[in-house]
Amino acid sequence: MSGGSGFAGVRRAGLRAARSLVRRARKSQTLTLIALIAVTAAVTALALALPSLIPTAALTIPLLLGGMLLRFRPLVVLTFIALVLGSFVMSGRADGLPKIGFVVTLGVVGWIVLTGAKVRSRLGVQGSRGESMLIELRDILTAQGELPRLPSGWLAEASIRSAGGQSFSGDFVVAATRGEDQLEVALVDVSGKGIDAGTRALLLSGAFGGLLGVVPVEEFLPAANHYLRRQDWDDDFATVVHVAVDLRTGDFEVRTAGHPPAIQFDAWSGRWATRDSDGPLLGLVEKPEFAVNKGQLKLGDALFLYSDGMVETPRRDIGLGTDRLAGHAERLVAHGFKGAAEELVVEIGGPGDDSAIVVIHRQTHPSELPGTCTPPRAAQSGTTRRSPHAVLRQALAGRSRPA
């Protein structure tokens, strides 16, 4: 036990020392350059002394390390030294070996490393920090789209799929709660798709997330439009569907800005209805007006917010796409719409466009209704599953019967 714990301690100490060395290397370019020149010289000496064991191609290792740790100018110095030493090593090799070819290959590797360093220098970052920043920005965009935890009796899910399976999407979701009684969700579709719209989506997600739950519900879209107008983008715009739900009564308000309308599932009738609300695209009009569509989510009802990538394709009209979405969602009624967002994005979303959907469901509780009970799992296998609104109808019918 003591030997194992001692080895683990040594390993942790080694990892800490390695991280500390990398941090110092990033701070001190001179120290890093000197260390990499020393490594290059050591590889050269070993290649001359042990030509059968150390290939000359090992000189590419310090070059690649320099691309990760050095800025552009120090990297130019390291590349030049590596080319000189590589040429010197190859000049001492036996005749018949591809000497010029290796020097050219080393030069191409150096050019590739320098090109990457030049791009990163324009961004003001070095090495792999640029990639790390992109990963952090992607994680921030994903975290802002997480829906808040809702009280018992409510289910809310969101799912987004980027065009081509890229990490960034032009569709994003922001959500917030006002106390414990109101939920606000906005589904935004930025012009463009995939990584081309990812930077604008990241900018707007932070701004819209800051507005949501802070400004009054009716002022969210005008404030978002004002922010977008201030960006002075040439031909870029955004569409939004914004919903505010009272979690006590189920009353909701839907407003859209050039976005496909929300659709509501009525558990009592089993029908689907669109919640139309007119409003212009964000960023095009100075003082737009946004109509409101009010409704109520009763027990078993659900509200769907979705982007045009879910319902519209070059070969399919948006109306037909909405019917197809509702038809597929109809199959999920018996499961209470749990996992519906992910399934619908995978099954319905267009592969060539960003797709996003938000499902807000007011759940039923059959076990809490009078005269109903939940049968054991063993008995369920041979019975037909009934939808939640069917259970509610039976329960209410039992209430209304005279004694």
How does pLDDT run across 93-131, given as a tens digit for each residue? Answer: 656 566 677 788 888 888 888 887 877 776 666 555 666
Average pLDDT of span 13-27: 60
What's domain 133-363's superfamily in CATH? PPM-type phosphatase domain (3.60.40.10)
* pLDDT-based confidence at residue 248 (cuts at 50, 70, 90): very high
pLDDT digits (tens, 9 = 90+) for 168-227: 777 889 999 888 889 999 999 887 766 667 778 878 888 888 898 889 999 999 999 998
- DSSP three-state, residue 164: helix
The alpha helices in 92-219, defined as continuous H runs, are: 99-123, 129-144, 195-211
pLDDT score recorded for residue 72: 82
110 close to 63: Cβ distance less than 8 angstroms: yes
Q: Which residue has the tokens 């076990």?
A: 367
Token representation of residue 4: 């194992």
Using CA atoms, how far residue 284 sits from 173, 229, 235, 280, in Å, is 21, 7, 9, 8
pLDDT exceeds 90 at position 293: yes
What is d(CA 295, CA 357) in angstroms, rounded to the nearest whole number? 20
DSSP state at residue 258: S
Using CA atoms, how far residue 47 sits from 44, 62, 77, 85, 381, in Å, is 5, 14, 21, 11, 73
Using CA atoms, how far residue 51 sits from 41, 46, 80, 243, 298, in Å, is 15, 8, 22, 71, 80
Q: What is the DSSP string of 192-246?
A: S-THHHHHHHHHHHHHHHHHTTTS-GGGHHHHHHHHHHHTT-SS--EEEEEEEEE
Least confident range from 221-225, 282-286, 346-350, 387-391: namely 387-391
* pLDDT-based confidence at residue 20 (cuts at 50, 70, 90): low
What is d(CA 141, CA 203) in angstroms, rounded to the nearest whole number? 9
Q: Where are the domains of the chain?
A: 2-127, 133-363, 367-400
223: Cβ–Cβ under 8 A, 6 or more apart, which residues? 211, 215
389 close to 267: Cβ distance less than 8 angstroms: yes
87 close to 79: Cβ distance less than 8 angstroms: no
Comparing 280 with 15, the larger pLDDT belongs to 280
What is d(CA 271, CA 148) in angstroms, rounded to the nearest whole number? 28
- DSSP three-state, residue 273: strand
* pLDDT-based confidence at residue 70 (cuts at 50, 70, 90): confident
pLDDT score recorded for residue 395: 37
The alpha helices in 251-373, defined as continuous H runs, are: 318-330, 340-348
212 close to 218: Cβ distance less than 8 angstroms: no
Amino acid at 335: H
What is d(CA 243, CA 252) in angstroms, rounded to the nearest whole number? 7
What is d(CA 65, CA 79) in angstroms, rounded to the nearest whole number? 11
